Amino acid sequence: MKKKTNLGLKIICLNRKASFNYFFEDIYEAGIVLKGSEIKSVRNGKVNIADSYAVEKNGEIFLINSHISSYKQASYSNHNPIDERKLLLNKKEINKLIGKMQREGFTLIPTKMYFKKGKAKIQIAVAKGKKKYDKRQSIKRRDWNRDKARYVRKTS
């Protein structure tokens, strides 16, 4: 019997620097409101969420500074590549996120964008920024793990 491993997820893009620059507290999955030409570009993989973040406006969460390239075949009905995009979350989740952002100084960082059962989803993390010494500690730990793996490989 074959096991299902993918569970219908098709990853579009990752924010690899997010885990290096931030400590993650919680991770949420949100839908994203896209126009027709935007979803065509997303399906082609023309997305960049490296410098993006999410903010609260009028009781809703919006994704800022994400870049979805324009779709060439859309001609006159094309979208703005750097535009605010609304994230779809439950009211309870939105209130929880707003409270954490205002009281505890957290920020919302997108970690990856993917398709789940044909719908575009984005994974956002409630994160706190790392200081320079935390980043140096991460580099040191990563280098040590790499060297440790080399030593084990040489001895076996």
Quote the pLDDT of residue 38: 86
Q: Which tokens sit at 139?
A: 């580099």
Average of pLDDT values for 100-115? 89
Question: Among 1-15, 33-47, 121-135, whose mean pLDDT is lowest?
Answer: 1-15
Show the 3-state SS of 37-97.
HHHHHHHCCCEECCCCEEEEECCEEEEECCEECCCHHHHHHCCCCECCEEEECCHHHHHHH
Domain that holds residue 54: 9-130
28 is a domain residue:
yes
151 is a domain residue:
no
pTM: 0.78
19 is a domain residue:
yes
89 is a domain residue:
yes
Placement of tokens 């949420």 in the chain: 28
Average pLDDT of the residues of the chain: 87
Quote the pLDDT of residue 143: 92
Average of pLDDT values for 133-153? 88
Q: Which tokens sit at 10?
A: 């098709």
**pLDDT over 90 for what percent of the chain?**
38
Q: For the chain, how many structural domains are there in total?
A: 1
136 is a domain residue:
no
CATH of the domain at 97: 2.40.280.10
Q: Which of 46-50, 87-91, 134-138 has the highest mean pLDDT?
A: 87-91
Quote the pLDDT of residue 5: 55
Question: Among 14-18, 30-34, 106-110, whose mean pLDDT is lowest?
Answer: 14-18
154 is a domain residue:
no
Question: Is it the case that residue 4 has pLDDT exceeding 70?
Answer: no
140 is a domain residue:
no
1 is a domain residue:
no
